[in-house]
Structure 1
Amino acid sequence: MAYSLFNHIQGKNGSRWAEFVRETGTENLLMVAIDAAKFTQKALIGTFYGDILVKPFEFDASMTGFEYLKKVIQLEKEKYKLKEVVVGIETTGHYYEDLVRRCHSSGYHVRTLNAATTAQERQALLNWSKTDNLDLMAILQSMIHGRGTSNELSSGAVLTLQKLTRARRELVGERTTTQNLILMHMDHIFREFQGKSVWENGKRKHVQPFSKLFGKAPLYLMRHYPHPTDILTLGEKGLRELSIRENLKLRDSTIQILIEFARNSISQPKEFVDGDIFLLSQKLDRLELLKNQINVLEHKIEDLFVETEGAVILSVPGIGVVTGAELYAEMGDISDFEHAGQLIKMAGTNPIVKQSGGKKPSYFCISKQGRRTFRNITYQVGKSLAVNNPEMKLRYLALKDRGKHTRQAYVALGNRMIRLAFSMIRNHSLYRTNQENYVLVSEISKKLRAPNVKRFYELHVSSNLCLSA
């Protein structure tokens, strides 16, 4: 009986590849290396032993080009009486995805290779050049050495969630950038609007008119009364009337601070900052648009996520709709994994271990060799759990007591959540806890809109009750 040396996904893929090659026979394999691109792609056809049967040739990135590729492959397969076709494709941007799906549907054995893998192959050849033909040779050699993975690409709800959650993350980044630009323009128009340092009882203290600079009241004032002279023109009475009319809920202390800061502002006269006021108005429009887009996108994510098997992780305190959907989307189809450790390695949050000569192993930082997007959400999940989940918070404090850095503790909690999510999704089970104040309906109701709460219970709670009965 043969045993796999490595207990992770690469070892599993390697075992599958070895089994496939052994059953088919190396002499029966036709190897096709493809360098994917947006418009014109290149391919090279050879044998398992590295013999080149067809020199590099081009084909267009369309169905016409793919049919031409299939025709060339079929001719070589019949000519040399080969049984199986192995296609190796480098993961270049997103251009490789359609090729992978078409090759799978055509019955080819597909191997997807990371760009770092082919780069290492070029280095092994002691060739610092990089051309399309050298890339094809590197892809071919990587396939021969059994590198890459044969996993199919995400599809269906998982793929859609992945695209939606990543799009939301981009919009959130744009929103943050826009907010920073707004603050920059306000620095020129009315610097003290964000607060200033004052002396109080012999100590320096930072005083802010608003606790949140992007709440309803600050946004309204920035749009309509951005300059100190605007605040002084309104005066205390005008600000109170404005607050009542627009429902801004300005406190008396806030009004007093605004007037005092406006009276002693260092900002330039209004006519000198006309350009900044104009740009500020544009940035506020952009911020409003981004907020609306994010809100619509989050509703779309919620409606889709509640229908998936991954929605069971919403029963975990500290896991919201967006973080839960993003974690599930980055995990993908877990049916191809034997244990959660393989997912942790795919995220690149597994610790680096160094050990030799019978010495005690040393644990260093995380590997960061997996998917960056998966790694990011793992960290964010750990951060949320440390604050919002009582049980995880105790673990977080225990890690801190052991001398772990805050970020290390967040990653450790994120990895624990991956293990928990893997088990819950595979067994279709809900979160179990000894917390006295934990109530499932309350936990779900504060995360989902009413129609989706009902849908959640129909799909994930009723079925669990039936299984337990």
Structure 2
Amino acid sequence: MKLFVGIDVSSKELEVAMLTSESTKQLFRAHVPNDLNGASEIKQKILELNEAYQFEQTVIAMESTSVYSFHPAFFFKNDAELSALNVEAVLLNPRDTKRYKDIFEASKSDSIDAFYIADFLRTGHYTTGIVRQEEYLALQRLTRSRFEVVQSLTRSKQHFIENLYYKVNKLAVEPLGTSLFGSTMMELLTADISTEDLAALPLEGLANFLDQKSHGRFSDPQKLAETIQKAIRGSYRLNQVVSESVDTVLAIYANEIKMYQKIIAQLRKSIEKILEMIPEGQILQSIPGIGPVYSAGILAEIGQIERFDNEAKLAKYAGLAWKRNQSGNFEGQKTPMLHTGDTYLRYYLIEAANSIIHYDPVFKKYFDKKMSEIKNAPRKRALSLTARKLIRVIYYLLSRHQIYQSEEVV
């Protein structure tokens, strides 16, 4: 007989319900604080029930609810007395438990939620345990923070380009052959000089400015200077009041972009330091195109590969799975991606796939094939499918502790 413990977690409280594998009658039900004392109270009750019933296994589950489930989950997972009783602590996808609960109940209450979390365990449809080692958790804090900062950086760049369009519309939309967000271009675009003065500068003087500020990184500063001046002269003009306000906004976003870039660089250093403690980091970095940041982002979310029975479950956990549309002999061609899964893991897998196709010929061939087959949003969908292929490779390498070898080499 097994004991199933369902815990509904909030910022301040833990609502707990305990059932056995043989009955839906609740052995215990309580409402305790979400702190060390409350978790200890639940633990003590589990020990008492185990003494009375001698359970072959105890499964403690709670929904993955932001940061609130972190401490109780690790308390139950790492407690020495509970570990001696064959206790498994798992985090459940809230969508799964909600669907299960909705079959039986239309109302919403925490006590009911705790019961159905425990009852859901009786179906045996839980698979993913929690990450055990602290290195993965430390890495996860860094890689998830990097993800959020990158999103903020992207938004700042979008706002910068939007305001640049007001100031010099052709410069914002026409290719320059270099990034607008390089230090030299950012300094030029936010300099205390009007567009008219910039357009009137001698071409040689502008070219020299670009060459000096970039420390000779531009291959043809003369051509770049010509392109910039041509775009300025062909752009609309603003009156002084609007122009000054746009310049102010551009300067603000330029500073914001620099700040985010600096934060990302700091996070990268910390990520690389912790990644050195995890042996699997070298395995993933053996895949061409996957550096320390992408390896860290993937490993931080996967944790121990033993958490997943097969690569299909890992793909579903990442949200890189598709709904099948089939009835009788009919097989639908449109298969939308599941809107569930680990957002951070999916992001790092897709970013890694986007990098790999530039280095590994096998992945490039696969990506090109999918690009040619897909009509709607081909690049986006082809990258998702390439990331799904990458999952198979990652699962194989991590589960066998092997270094990557290209299929062509093999």
Show the counterpart of 1:132.
110
Shift of residue 133 of structure 1?
2.0
Amino acid at match of 2:76: C
Structure 1 residue aligned with 2:283, among 299, 312, 319? 312
Taking the aligned partners of 1:258 and 1:150, their CA distance within structure 2 comes to: 54
Which residue among 391, 396, 405 is the counterpart of 1:423?
Answer: 396
State the 1:59 CA deviation. 1.8
In the alignment, structure 1 residue 385 sits paired with structure 2 residue 351 = no
**Could you say if the C-alpha distance between residues 391 and 76 of structure 1 is closer, same or farther in structure 2, counting changes exceeding 3 Å?**
closer
Distance 1:145 1:414 in 2: 31
Indicate yes or no: 2:313 matched with 1:342. Answer: yes
In structure 2, the residue matched to 1:286 is 256
2: CA distance between counterparts of 1:177 and 1:216? Answer: 18
Judged with a 3 Å threshold, the aligned counterparts in structure 2 of structure 1 residues 111 and 263 are, in CA distance, closer, same or farther, namely closer
| TM-aligned CA deviation for residue 223 of structure 1 | 2.1
The corresponding residue for 2:181 is: 214
Cα offset, 1:333, TM superposition: 0.8
User: Are residues 63 and 352 of structure 1, via their aligned partners in 2, closer, same or farther at CA, if it must alter by over 3 Å?
Assistant: same
Alpha-carbon distance between aligned partners in 1 of 2:141 and 2:99, rounded to the nearest angstrom? 30
- What is the number of equivalent residue pairs in this alignment? 394
For 2:213, give the aligned amino acid: E
Kindly indicate whether residue 92 of structure 2 is the aligned counterpart of residue 113 of structure 1: yes
Counting only pairs closer than 5 Å after superposition, residues 220-235 of structure 1 correspond to structure 2 as: 220-225=187-192, 227-232=194-199, 234-235=201-202
> The residue matched to 1:224 in structure 2 has which SS?
coil
Quote the offset at 1:142 in angstroms.
1.2
Q: Distance in 2 between matches of 1:414 and 1:182?
A: 31
Pairs within 5 Å for 1:26-105: 29-48=2-21, 49-55=23-29, 57-74=30-47, 81-84=52-55, 85-104=58-77, 105=79
Deviation at 1:173, TM superposition (A): 1.1
Alignment of 1:357-436 (within 5 A): 365=335, 368=338, 369-399=340-370, 405-433=378-406
Deviations 1:133-166 (A, max 9, x none): 2212221321233332462324233333333222
Instruction: Tell me by how many angstroms 1:178 deviates.
Output: 0.7
For residues 244-280 of structure 1, what are the alpha-carbon distances to aligned partners after superposition, in whole Å with 9 as ceiling and x for unaligned?
A: 5534657233333444444454231334332222222
What is the DSSP-based 3-state SS (H/G/I as helix, E as strand, rest coil) of the residue aligned with 1:388? coil
Superposed CA deviations along residues 390-443 of structure 1, whole A, max 9, x for unmatched, are 12223334455666855554344323322222333333333334768x9xxxxx
1:148 aligns with 2:126: yes
Match of 2:358, SS state, is helix
Q: Are the aligned partners of 1:226 and 1:277 in contact in 2 as well (CA < 8 Å)?
A: no
Structure 1 residues 356 and 173, CA gap change in structure 2 (3 angstroms): closer
Matched residues in 2 for 1:169 and 1:376: separation? 8
Deviations 1:318-350 (A, max 9, x none): 323322332333332113445433323333434
Q: Is 1:182 paired with 2:152?
A: no
The residue that corresponds to 1:21 in the other structure is none
Give 1:364 deviation, angstroms.
Answer: 5.8
Letter in 2 for 1:51: K
Q: Given the superposition, is the C-alpha separation of residues 364 and 159 from structure 1 closer, same or farther in structure 2, using an over 3 Å criterion? A: farther
Aligned identity (percent) is 21
Kept after mapping to 2: 8 A contact 1:346/1:370: yes
Tell which deviates more after alignment, 85-94 or 393-402: 393-402
Residue 253 to residue 112, structure 1, CA distance change in 2 (3 Å): closer
Quick one: distance in 2 between partners of 1:244 and 1:89?
A: 59
Displacement, 1:289?
Answer: 1.1
Q: Residue 342 of structure 1 aligns to which amino acid in structure 2?
A: K
Q: Which runs of 4+ in 1 moved over 6 A?
A: 354-357, 360-363
Q: Distance in 2 between matches of 1:431 and 1:150?
A: 26
CA distance in 2, matches of 1:386, 1:418: 14
Question: Is residue 352–residue 363 contact of structure 1 (8 Å, CA) maintained in 2?
Answer: no
TM-score (norm 2): 0.82
Q: Which shifted more, 149-158 or 217-226?
A: 149-158
What amino acid is the match of 2:180? L
Distance 2:360 2:397 in 1: 17
Structure 2 counterpart of 1:268: 238
- Give the counterpart letter for 2:287 in structure 1: V
1:383/1:33 CA distance change after superposition, 3 Å: same
- Out of 126, 146, 150, the residue aligned to residue 168 of structure 1 is 146
- CA drift of 1:218 comes to 1.5
**AA paired with 1:69?**
I
- 87-96 or 209-218: bigger deviation: 209-218
Runs of at least 5 residues in structure 2 that lack an aligned partner in the other structure: none
Cα 1:416–1:53 shift into 2, 3 Å: closer
Match of 2:304 among 294, 319, 333: 333
Contact 2:268–2:293, Cα closer than 8 Å, also in 1: yes
TM-score by length of 1: 0.72
CA RMSD of aligned residues (A): 3.3
